[in-house]
Every structure is written in C-alpha cells, then in structure tokens.
Structure 1
Amino acid sequence: MSELNILDGLPPRVAELLGDAPTWSDDHEGMSGGVQFVNGTYWVKRGPHAIEEHARLTWLAEQGIAVPEVVLFEQDVLVLADAGVPSLAEHEAPGRLMGALLRRLHELPIERCPFDERLDVVLPRAARNVADGLVDPEDFDFDKHGLGPEQILALLADRPDETDLVVAHGDYTPPNVLDGGILIDVGGLGLADRYRDLALAVRDLSDDYGDAEVERFFEAYGLDTPDQRRLDYYRMLDELF
C-alpha cells in the first residue's frame, strides 16, 4: 500500500499525533502490505484489515496475551507503538519459543472468542481473492508451481473435518512473533482448526531452519504425531492469501 493510501487525509487525532511532516517508511522486516513505520516510533495501518486487527488486539490483551500497544484508533486508522524488539525471524532457533507461545494461545477457551475464521468463512474469502485477480501463482510454494489459483481453489473443496477448534492466529510465522512473546499481525485471528497455525509455522521453520527446528516446535507445543493431511491442506489454503 502506498504512502498516499495510508498517510493522506488522516483523521484529525491521528494527524495531530503524527505531526505536520511525518517521516515514513515501508522498508521494514516482512514488508507486509498496508503498514507504514512512521516517525521511527509508530506502526500505522489503515483500512478494513486495520479495523479487524484493532478488535482482535483489544480482545487478546483482555485475555492476557502480549500484543503491541494501541496508541490510537480512529475511523479506519490503527496506530501501534513500536515494541522495540526484533521478531523471532532474527533468532537462530525459534522453534521452542514459537511452540510454547502457540500452545498458550491455543489453550484460550474457544467459547470466549467472538471471531470466526473457520472454513465456511475463509474459503469464500479465498474465492473472492481468486475472482478479483489478487492471487499471484508466482508466489506459490515450489510444490505448487504449475498450478493456477482456480486449481488450488478446486483442490481446497476436499476439506478436512474441523473437529479440533482453537483460537488461531491465522498467520503464525516467525516474523509475526516478537521477542517477549508479543503477537503481531493478528487481523486473521479467530476460531479455526489448530492446523491453520501449525501448517504455516511448520512451513517456515522447515524452509528456513530445517527439520530439527520443526521437531523442537512440536515438542514445545505438545504434539507427538501431526496430521500430515491437515498440514498440507492449510498450507495450500494460505496460497490464496
């Protein structure tokens, strides 16, 4: 997302906070879209995803999960304080830390969670991304090269049962966990199969750190025999986001 999309026409309180000539940068770890690092102090997000993330940050904080401080939220603009610590992507061996924190998140009582991210909600969203041309097959994992977005969507119709629901992060990867167990980029958090998180954590740990780190992750999480079908399914689902 460009500077104009985020920083032009800001709501009054946000504009006052950032000042008349804010310095901004989208050159940051992860390079995720829709976020700017402003004045070397704040992370600014804008749009529907920012609204969704604000609700989830507020709820997670109430559950005792560490999240970035919300400095200001006005209209569709979310301003977060910089935590001043690196993500687990900077660690040489993040598996145990990721496994322990995910176990804690997944132990939250699901009846308290007001956000629904089950397949009946997520698959139509994936279909919209495909229909709107928002999925780039060049970004697919190596084993999915040669497939088109429509083919991936068709494969996802063979869906596993959702019998093991948890409060899932939705994008649980090393860059989205900061030192100190702080969760960021929680706009997709909600009730979902635990493998929604396990699949992405395993993918990144395997690709970037190797199988031994995956084993440490599962040991800390407390899962002896992962369900490979569910790991494969939710990794494939992520191709459309």
Structure 2
Amino acid sequence: MIETVRRRLRRRHLLYRWTPVAGGGSGDRVWRLTGRGRATLYAKIGTDPAALRAEAERARWLIGAGVAAPDPLEVGEDGGTGWLVSAQVPGRPASGDWPAHLRAPVVAAVARLARRLHDLPADRCPFPRGLEHTLAQARQNVRAGRVDPDDFDDERRGMSARQALEELERSVPAEPEEDRVVCHGDLTLDNVLVDPATLEWTGVVDPGRLGVADRHLDLALALRDLEGDPGWGPSFARAFAHHYGDDRIAPGRLAFYRLLDEFF
C-alpha cells in the first residue's frame, strides 16, 4: 500500500525527482522531492496515519509560535496508510560533518534553539507530553511489541522490553514535574537545523512528539547525542549545558529521560 500511495503522490508532483532518504526509527519511508526552480519538499509515508496527522498539527502550531518546522502541505490517509508532504526547512542538520572550528558555534546554536523552545508559553501549547502520558504510552508500546531491545543503549544491551519497563517504573522521579516547558520531544542533533553561513539555528524537523513536558525530556537526548558521538564528546556536552544554562539542568533527571526514550 505504501507503494500505491507513493505512485499516487508522484502523479500529483510530476515535476519533482523523488530521492529516498533515511526514515528514522518510526518505520516511515521518506523521500526528498526536488525540481528545477521549485521548492524542495519531503514526503513521508507510513502505516500510522494518526502519527502523521499529529506531526502535521504540531508543525503548524510550532510555526505559529515562531519556530520554523516543516510546513505541512498535504496530509491524508487511505486504507491504513498515511502520508505527509511538507516544505523543507532551510539549514543543515547539527549532526552533520562540520569543520572542527565550527563545532563549538553549532553546539551553541543548538543550545539557543533548546532555550527558544523551552521559553515558549507552555500554557498555550495544546499537546501534553508529561509523565502521565509518556509512561502510559511506554507501557502500551511494550504490550503492542513496538519496542525493539536491539535498539537499546549499551547499558541496557541484553534486556528485554519488559525488563527495561520494570527499570523505568522503578526509576520514576519522586519529585513532581513542576518545571514543564514546550519540548520538541526528540531533540537529537539530527532534528536541529543550523545555517552554515550565520551559524544560527534555522528550525527543527520531526516535531511529532512535541508537547508540554519536563525540560529534561529534551535535554537528556541532546546531551546523550553530544556525549556519545566520537565526533563531539563530553567537552561539547559541557559547552551545550553552559550555553543552555547549567542552573536549569538537574543531572539526576537525565538518566531517567534517556531510559524513557528507549520506548519511543
């Protein structure tokens, strides 16, 4: 059915060349659409239409709040297969192969983007992502067999999804989530775009998990990316924390939110 939908979309975008790109961990298939003199588009097709609709809704909200995201041009569903066609956001992924002398400015730009998101008015964001929602979704994902232990971080290699869930349940922070902000929900370096000329952030991609949550939902992933990537490393993670604001980061919460991410 995915191929059927793709052929239908190609007929609607006849003047574009379709180039497959990596689809991430969701199982969606993604193509870059390019054409002479035409704006670049991205087409995402998958078997979870509700998730694609949710991504489109969150992208629209984020654009309205002043942070660039892929502008949804078309979203639809047919026979259990969904699609989303969006405009490209300018910039290069922060995860790209940046020259050594540009890496510190790129990390600073990612930290500024995180602060910009987290400074948005959380009371105006209609998408909840607090623990009462994410823990319930984690349990549901385990029951439905949607958690792949082969993708677990190194410290949980060899665990089953059920064992990891038991660890998660034991690790829930005792303190209430009082410091809720607008989170991207999947704030990896792949999902933050930076202008190579100005070294300012230009926007984000893949906002399907955007919502109001503890800020450490985002910070845990950004810091994990920086710490674990040999091209970056702990010194860049410390630089990110400095630019974001060390006083806003509770180290004890980071491990929990990294564990929580295993279920999504």
TM-score (norm 2): 0.80
Percent sequence identity is 36
Letter in 2 for 1:104: R
Letter in 1 for 2:260: L
Deviation at 1:78, TM superposition (A): 1.6
Q: How many residues align?
A: 235
Following TM superposition, the consecutive aligned residue runs of length 4 or more in structure 1 with deviations greater than 6 angstroms are none
Q: Map 1:63-212 onto structure 2 (within 5 A).
A: 63-75=65-77, 76-83=82-89, 85-90=91-96, 91=98, 92=100, 93=103, 94-157=106-169, 158-160=171-173, 161-179=176-194, 180-208=201-229, 209-212=232-235
- 8 Å contact from structure 1 (residues 11, 74) kept in 2: no
Letter in 2 for 1:39: L
- 8 Å contact from structure 1 (residues 173, 201) kept in 2: yes
Unaligned runs of 5+ in 1: none
Q: Which has the higher contact order (CA 8 A, sep 6+)?
A: 1
Distance 1:52 1:226 in 2: 29
Distance 1:127 1:194 in 2: 22
Distance 2:72 2:216 in 1: 29
Find the counterpart in structure 1 of residue 56 from structure 2: 54
Distance 1:207 1:224 in 2: 23
1:226 corresponds, among 243, 246, 249, to 249
TM-score (norm 1): 0.87
Cα separation, partners in 2 of 1:56 and 1:117, compared to 1, 3 Å: same
Letter in 2 for 1:100: R
203-212 or 216-225: which moved more? 216-225
RMSD, aligned α-carbons: 2.4
* 1:36 is the counterpart of 2:59: no
Distance 1:195 1:51 in 2: 26
1:35-64 residue CA offsets vs partner (Å, 9 max, x unmatched): 421433321124221100110011011111
1:21-43 residue CA offsets vs partner (Å, 9 max, x unmatched): 97544334857631421433321
Distance 1:34 1:184 in 2: 14
Find the counterpart in structure 1 of residue 37 from structure 2: none
